[in-house]
Amino acid sequence: MLDQLWWAVETIGHVVSDPLLAGGMVAGAGALAWGGWLAARRFWWRPVPAVLAGISLGVVLGVTFSRTLPDWALAPGREFCHLNGFSLHGSAELLNALLFVPFVLCAVLATRRPLAVAASAVALSALIEIVQPLTGRGLCETQDFFNNSAGAVVAAVLAAGLLAVRERVAR
């Protein structure tokens, strides 16, 4: 577990050490936070979770598109998307399962629509996996999609439970 935590710290350190990547992530998170606030005003969502969802979405996009392809992934004849299954063995797999959790939790608390948010997060994960190899900013792996989607669904269920408890307490 300590190895996985250290790997996560090193990965974050890599992103933050590059001023262009760090600046892009901060700017993107800020822009999406502003978008969350505007959406909250427009659709009568709860503003604080909407802003936090925007920030979290900026982090998701920053992390997923901050990587460059390793040399072995550029080999001719390499498949477009690596087909592998769900797994939580390893730090990268665990981080992929947790990647969408803050965004989904905040978005569900803001919108009170767990099904719509979970479906949107799953669709976004699929889109990210398709766009990564096209832009040269990562690898398409079905395992990443499965792990991201599982984390998003679990987060949506947890947030729906929190909303139900909050509603029951309010009565």
**Number of domains comprising the chain:** 1
3-state helix, strand, coil in the chain (%, to 5): 80, 0, 20
CA distance 116 to 106: 13
**Cβ(45)–Cβ(110) under 8 Å?**
yes
What is the per-residue pLDDT across 7-28, written as a single tens digit (0 to 9) for each? 666 766 766 677 777 788 889 9
Q: Are strands 140-141 and 81-82 parallel, antiparallel or unpaired?
A: parallel
Give the Å distances, CA to CA, from 43 to 35, 37, 47, 116, 123.
12, 10, 10, 14, 21
List pLDDT tens digits, range 27-79. Answer: 999 999 999 999 999 999 999 999 999 999 999 998 888 877 766 666 677 78
**Domain span at 39:** 2-170
108-133 pLDDT, tens per residue? 999 999 999 999 999 999 999 999 98
